[in-house]
Amino acid sequence: MDYNSVEAEEIIEELLLDNSMEERRLQLFNQIYGEGSSSSQRRMINRDREAGHDRLVGDYFSENPTYLLETFRRRVDALGRKGLSPLQKYTAAMRMLAYGTSVDVVDDYVRIGESTAIECLKKFVTKVILIFEDEYLRKPNENDVQRLLKMGEDRGFPGMMGSIDCMHWQ
């Protein structure tokens, strides 16, 4: 399947805007505690998601951003609260991938719950595979092998193919 960058961006945006996991979490909460349960029976964690979003906007999207300026969108949930922004979902997934960050560390900065962060990561990785598997995430063909062997040879590593840890070196 071929995707241009606009189509890929739209797919990722759709993925990040998907609030179905929030709805599912609310359903599970209601199944466990009942819709009319008292607040003493349940413990809600106020993550101050708006502050997490504001921190991200200040770092990346303000007039004088700490990092590069981008665009973002956000939605409102069924209770009228601002939901997690696509930026928060994307940042959570990227931090876990790029830094090997735990969900707790992502929660501290982005203000996103464990199950939501994991779901964002799964959806992001699934979409990356869908978009890039045919070209980049496939078994190398003969042309690929020859090109990679030539690159290795040019860099002083003749016969080098597939060694990440260099364990076969003499």
Q: Which domain holds residue 100?
A: 5-149
User: Is residue 154 included in any domain, yes or no?
Assistant: no
* pLDDT digit string, tens, across residues 5-28: 666 666 666 655 555 656 666 666
Gap between the Cα atoms of 79 and 96, Å rounded: 29
Residue type, 59: D
Could you tell me the pTM of the whole model? 0.45
User: Is residue 114 included in any domain, yes or no?
Assistant: yes
User: Is residue 20 included in any domain, yes or no?
Assistant: yes
Mean pLDDT of all residues in 132-146: 86
* pLDDT digit string, tens, across residues 56-76: 888 777 788 776 544 444 456
User: Is residue 55 included in any domain, yes or no?
Assistant: yes
User: Is residue 167 included in any domain, yes or no?
Assistant: no
User: Is residue 123 included in any domain, yes or no?
Assistant: yes
- Calculate what percentage of the chain has a pLDDT beyond 70: 62
What total of structural domains would you count in the chain? 1
Q: What's the token pair of residue 34?
A: 């009942």
User: Is residue 77 included in any domain, yes or no?
Assistant: yes
